[in-house]
Amino acid sequence: MKWTLYNLLFAIAYVAMMPKFLVRMARRGGYANRFADRFGRYPRDVLARLGDGRPRVWVHAVSVGEVAVAGQLMAELRRQRPGIAFVLSVTSSTGWAQAQRQVGPEDVLVYGPLDYPGCVRRAVRAIAPLAYVITETELWPNVIRQVAGRGAPTFLVNARISDHSAPGYRRLRCWFGPVLNLLTKIYAQSDLDARRLEDAGCDAGRIAVTGTMKFDVAHRAPGKEAELRDYLAAAGFAPDAPILLGGSTWPGEDAFLLAVYRKALAKNPRLRLVIVPRHFEKAGDVEVAIRTAGFPCLRKSRAPSPERQPQDAVLLADTTGELMGFYGLSQVVFVGKSLFEKGGQNMIEPCLCGCATVVGPHTENFRPVMSDLLAQQAVLQGADLPATEAHLLALLADPDAAAALGARAAAAVERRRGATPRIAAEILRAL
């Protein structure tokens, strides 16, 4: 009765959300690609590959951040057991673009099925997984129940329960507890996440606290750094000019950075600003904000071979796969979705690159990471907008302090690596 009610509510919710999906398709382009995958209906060539007799581990991720974790885990599993193959499923079109770089020639990339019995049955029957690995918090009851029912081991890796979600998991433990206890093992990011999983009804013996795998995911991109260095030089950015970078910014944060830039320019006219928005479809709004603030704007997607820009021009980097390269060239970084939106984007990446990294008050999605970095004085967090601005202006005015903060950040990331190999070894033992 419980799962009949769940399936009924899921169907109603999906129909209600269909207009939102259609709008996403229109805005993001590739979102409509392989839409039938979500109903467990795959193209013939995909079905042929899934039916080639090769056992595959099914790894599921949502979007870009989770796909990076999944890719790192897959690479480590391959290293420890050469020849292992995967089905990687994603939820978003941005996740798909990232996932295409993570799969090997023997792997299969699909969109994850809707958590409705018919869709899940078709997907599980086609994939016939050797094991099922979920990244972070994608708990779909029907998928877990059907995979576990086939006798395949199931794992939740890099598990976290956000501050926002924790009360709901606790209230609905009668639903989540039975699902969590079907999992072979859960690898939690922190003791707090482990306690919240127990509060949601999970047996403590199924949970291991390993730390976050995201410390293993970040890698510098020297080739991209060299490519972008040449691009900046062609645009008139002096090689020794300090760069303030806004990484994965959300609406409102661009105006905040432009105000900081204006104040910092008064003391250091050589400073340059680069903004990398989280959603490129909103780059037009960012360009308007830059020009409204009175600065020339170089939009990278429209200037692959740039001309020399005015001294105070702002680079709007609305191109895919270049954020790590920009981090490697920047001195001071503000990490987005931390000022007005709740959650925060990945602050590990700029820290790894030795950037002096500043975040706003909202970093709930990276709670264990922030605890580690703050304890090691490796990042600065503003309690509100004025405090965040003060941190940025102080670092831009004191290059030695910025360099020292960046050095502590890089060392802190290196000390926290290693969760992924341990988790991979345990998964292989279970297989």
Residue owning tokens 């104040």 = 263
Sequence-distant (6+) residues with CB within 8 A of 241 are 270, 271, 272
From 356, 416, 410, 411, select the one nearest 381 (Cα to Cα).
356
Phi-psi region of 247 (alpha: psi -120 to 50; beta: other; left: phi over 0): beta
The answer to whether the beta carbons of residues 388 and 363 sit under 8 Å apart is: no
Q: Which tokens sit at 253?
A: 């944060």
Active site residues: 66
Number of H helices, E strands in the chain: 19, 14
Continuous segment of H or E residues that includes residue 220 = none
- Which string of b and e fits 168-203 if b means at least 16 CB within 10 Å? ebeeebebbbbbbeebbbbbbbbebbbbbbbbbbbe
What are the distances in angstroms from CA 395 to CA 191, 324, 389?
A: 33, 21, 10
Q: Which tokens sit at 102?
A: 């993570």
